[in-house]
Structure formats: structure tokens, C-alpha cells
């Protein structure tokens, strides 16, 4: 099992971060994030939560980019719409917008329908 797999396995155990995290995994997270756990109680849990939050943020940003890529193939995307799409962090809504963008005829039609899906 690689370091990345071990980190994902540990992070998926959410409530018990601190109790199950090995010293090696702690070192990997410290190296990747530049943060130090120190002796502070809950330090490992705090860093793990931050890691998960960052990973989820990256997924949402990638999905928003996919929506915008599809819309850009159809026409020009106004900056205000671009900002609205990038500001959305709800993955279910972003997935619905991606499906809508894949079947819409125009950027305007997408914008009108996006809050209805």
C-alpha cells in the first residue's frame, strides 16, 4: 500500500483520525502540508480535517472547470456566471450543472435553467 492509499484509508475513518494515524502518516501529512502537529491535543485531527477540506475543495473546483469547459464550447461565458459556478461547492449541484451544460443549447439557456436543477 502506497503512502497516498494509506492516507486516504486513514482519512476515511473520520472519527478516529488521531487514534489510528501512524507516525509515518503523520510525517507524510506534515511534509505535504508544511504544518507541524507538535504536542497539541487534537493536532493530528485538525490537520486531517484540513486535508479533507482541501481535497473536497479541489474536487468542487475541478467539477466547476468541467462545467465551464462545456459552456465555453457553446459560447462566451460572462465573468459573473463564471464566478457563480466557481463559488458553488455543493458537489450534487455541480454534477447537475455539468449534466445541464452537456445538453444545453446556449449559455443563456444554461444560466436560466441552472437554479431549477
What pLDDT, on a 0 to 100 scale, did the predictor assign at position 16?
A: 52
pLDDT band at 108 (very low <50, low <70, confident <90, very high): very high
Work out the burial of residue 45: count CB atoms within 10 Å of its CB; fewer than 13 is exposed, 13-18 middle, 19 or more buried.
middle
Query: The whole model's pTM is what?
Result: 0.63
What pLDDT, on a 0 to 100 scale, did the predictor assign at position 110?
A: 97
Q: Can you tell me the distance from the alpha carbon of 70 to that of 87, in angstroms, rounded to the nearest whole number?
A: 17
For the chain, the domains span 3-113
Give the mean model confidence (pLDDT) for residues 20-39. Answer: 68
Label residues 10-29 b or e (16+ Cβ within 10 Å = b).
Answer: bbeeeeebbeebeeebbebb
pLDDT band at 47 (very low <50, low <70, confident <90, very high): low
pLDDT tens digits along 64-91: 999 999 999 999 999 999 999 999 999 9
What pLDDT, on a 0 to 100 scale, did the predictor assign at position 54?
A: 76
Amino acid at each position: 500500500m502506497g503512502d497516498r492509499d494509506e492516507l486516504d484509508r486513514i482519512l476515511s475513518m473520520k472519527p478516529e483520525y488521531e487514534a489510528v494515524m501512524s507516525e509515518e502518516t503523520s510525517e507524510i501529512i506534515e511534509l505535504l502540508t508544511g504544518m507541524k502537529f507538535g504536542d497539541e491535543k487534537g493536532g493530528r485531527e485538525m490537520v486531517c480535517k484540513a486535508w479533507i477540506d482541501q481535497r473536497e475543495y479541489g474536487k468542487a473546483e475541478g467539477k466547476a472547470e468541467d462545467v465551464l469547459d462545456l459552456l465555453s464550447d457553446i459560447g462566451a461565458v460572462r465573468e459573473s456566471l463564471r464566478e457563480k459556478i466557481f463559488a458553488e461547492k455543493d458537489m450534487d449541484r455541480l454534477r447537475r450543472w455539468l449534466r445541464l451544460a452537456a445538453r444545453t443549447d446556449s449559455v443563456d439557456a444554461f444560466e436560466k435553467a441552472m437554479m431549477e436543477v
